[in-house]
């Protein structure tokens, strides 16, 4: 017997299992969705919104806490990623989108080499040390799917979606170990240029800078 339809929340976000996602709910249809989710003590699916439609793979979220309720019905929520799913069919009978989904997890038990794991961890902290990474959380290094903790430092939505879809922890770790050094080097260059561009070549700020 098929399970109940999963409420879907399209966002410009890729959520990973066991990572935090604060949400501000202001649209009426998503106020309805959150009300139904809370009433039924259910999960809802966070899916990446595309230019045309939504991604086929997402991650469910559970509401950890309702942080604030506004007089006009808006809500601030603390949510946590839970499990991955693939959309099989869509239902538009309610004010918000729902989907028939199939949940999935990793296949096989291949582990990345320890040296690659450590490289990925160092890469995460190198991003976290940058100005643009200051809000990154301390990762749970004991997570059996450590890649999802480290992937919080990835800003490219296409890369994040690719990691979410991957069914191999080893593959995700390898991708992150390759991705982080390139990203960190680029961000350091940006920070460097941001520092020197307003100056006139003699260490003095240009007028208006």
Model confidence over 138-165: pLDDT tens digits?
Answer: 999 999 999 999 999 999 999 999 999 9
| Rounded to 5°, angle at Cα 186 from 182 and 188 | 120
Query: What is the domain count for the chain?
Result: 2
Query: Is the domain of 63 the same as that of 126?
Result: no
**Residue 91, CB-side half-sphere exposure with 13 Å CA sphere:** 11
209 CB neighbour count, 10 Å cutoff: 9
The reply to whether 185 falls in a domain is yes
In the structure, what pLDDT confidence band is assigned to residue 186 with cuts at 50, 70 and 90? confident
User: Partners of 175 in the beta sheet?
Assistant: none
Which candidate, 103, 116, 105, places its Cα nearest to that of 170? Answer: 116
Select from 53, 86, 104 the last residue of a domain.
Answer: 104
* 97 and 149 together in one domain: no
What is the overall mean pLDDT for the chain? 91
Residue 164: which domain range? 114-196
Pick the last residue of a domain from 86, 104, 122: 104
Per-residue pLDDT of 38-72, as tens digits, reads 999 999 999 999 999 999 999 999 999 999 999 99
In a domain, 99, yes or no: yes
Instruction: Let me know if residue 73 belongs to a domain.
Output: yes
Q: Are residues 13 and 94 in the same domain?
A: yes
Instruction: Please give the structure tokens belonging to residue 192.
Output: 């460097």
Percent above pLDDT 70 for the chain: 89
Over the stretch 187-209, which tens digit does the pLDDT of each residue have? 777 765 666 655 555 555 445 54
Do 136 and 126 meet the contact criterion of CB atoms below 8 Å apart? no
Residue 169: inside a domain, yes or no? yes
Residue 137 lies in a domain: yes
Q: What is the C-alpha R_g of the chain? A: 20
Confidence class for position 131, pLDDT limits 50, 70, 90: confident
Give the pLDDT score at 11: 98
The predicted model gives 81-107 an average pLDDT of 97
Residue-level pLDDT at 1: 42
**126 and 79 both lie in a single domain:** no
Residue 2's pLDDT band (boundaries 50, 70, 90)?
low
Q: What is the pTM of this model?
A: 0.88
Q: Is residue 120 domain-shared with residue 48, that is, in the same domain?
A: no
Residue 1 falls inside a structural domain: no
| 72 and 131 belong to one structural domain | no
């Amino acid at each position: 017997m098929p399970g109940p339809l999963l409420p879907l929340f399209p966002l410009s976000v890729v959520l990973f299992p066991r990572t935090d996602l604060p949400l501000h709910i202001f649209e009426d249809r998503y106020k309805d969705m959150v009300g139904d989710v809370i009433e039924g003590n259910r999960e809802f699916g966070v899916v990446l919104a595309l230019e045309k439609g939504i991604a086929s793979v997402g991650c469910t979220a559970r509401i950890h806490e309702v942080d604030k309720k506004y007089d006009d019905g808006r809500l601030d929520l603390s949510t946590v990623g839970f499990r991955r799913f693939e959309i099989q069919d869509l239902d538009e009978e309610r004010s918000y989108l729902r989907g028939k989904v199939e949940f999935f997890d990793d296949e096989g038990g291949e582990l990345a080499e320890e040296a690659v794991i450590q490289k990925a961890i160092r890469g995460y902290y190198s991003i976290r040390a940058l100005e643009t990474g200051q809000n990154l959380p301390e990762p749970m290094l004991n997570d059996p799917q450590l890649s999802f903790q480290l992937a919080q430092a990835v800003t490219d939505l296409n890369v994040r979606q690719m990691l979410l879809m991957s069914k191999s922890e080893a593959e995700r770790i390898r991708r992150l170990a390759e991705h982080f050094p390139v990203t960190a080097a680029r961000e350091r260059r940006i920070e460097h240029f941001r520092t020197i561009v307003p100056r006139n070549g003699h260490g003095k700020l240009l007028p208006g800078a």
